[in-house]
Amino acid sequence: MHLRPRRLRQDAPMRRLTAQTRLHPAQLVLPMFVTEAPEPRPIGSMPGVQQHSLDSLRRAAVAAAETGIGGLMLFGVPDTRDACGSGADDPDGILNRATAALAAEVGDALVVQTDLCLDEFTDHGHCGVLDDVGRVDNDATLERYVSMALAQAEAGSGLLGLSGMMDGQVAAVRAGLDAAGHTDIPLLAYAAKYASAFYGPFREAVDSALTGDRRTYQLDPANRREGRREAALDVEEGADVVMVKPALSYLDVLADVAAASPVPVWAYQVSGEYAMIEAAAAQGWIERDRAVAESVLSIVRAGAEVVLTYWAEELAETLNRGEGL
């Protein structure tokens, strides 16, 4: 008997038939940035990605919805910031206005999702409020998260993305929403969010004011078991979905969480992952389209049921044309 695995690789139809991992546009979520500026602005470190105006965001959201992607994740970039991030729960703040606009425009076609974190709204750039000695105050921050959650729910968000990595954030937000009658709003917990170097371009995208780092609340890149533990805690607190972030450098953590989680597991292909592929492709060092598709496919293969990626719309169009990945 001759064992010949190559029989199942011999041509494109056979490879398509026997593929063990598949992508669908509904598995893709497009992160989007909205500012109070009258015109969109390109983000230099993320070619092809923009800081949108409210008008350009609406147009881009409609175009994205037409590709059949599963959702949009909104990040607000306000003109003014303060120590407590007061723009985060202001009904007239840019994120909440954008949420209401997109919920009305495309909310029946995809899930309009909102980032629930203070870093874009604070003048110090941290994900929470600071105490008297400059440390992030976990419990005081939870109060701000609850207020932010209520504002986003009232604006029409279909899913809240808790990305701040405060202990107890899922339980606090769930309790706050339920008490206010918002029992149907699902929570996406950024459960295993690591203190990564791959967030660099995102800092430009949100005009980050961060000084220092976030290592006291985001996970240590050296720790694998801690990712599983954080995901389990968030599930216990009532998370409807858990997230691993970044994706490509943490495929082991993603696989661990996916193997153990009783709720859906998503992953975020972050700005630095996007920028590296775009930069290498621009130099002619890699084949761009294949690298883009392979990178997202690998995240799904490792266990992600949904991927947040800046290539969501492009990949969906590729899939809709029937082109294999």
- Beta bridge partners, 200, equal none
CA distances to 88, 121, 316, 325 from 115, rounded to whole Å, are 10, 12, 22, 29
Report the alpha-carbon angle 288-293-297, nearest 5.
Answer: 150
Q: How many CB atoms lie within 10 A of CB 96?
A: 24
Is 273 a residue of the active site?
no
| Active-site residue, from 193, 194, 303, 318 | 193
Sequence-distant (≥ 6) Cβ neighbours of residue 302 within 8 angstroms: 251, 254, 255, 258, 267
Catalytic-labelled residue, pool 245, 258, 310, 313:
245
Q: Which amino acid is at 4?
A: R
Residues near 152 by beta carbon (within 8 Å), at least 6 away in sequence = 95, 96, 99, 114, 116, 160
Give me the sign of the Cα torsion angle 192, 196, 201, 206. positive
Active site residue 245: yes
What is the C-alpha separation between 80 and 74, in angstroms, rounded? Answer: 18
The residues annotated with a catalytic role in the active site are 193, 245
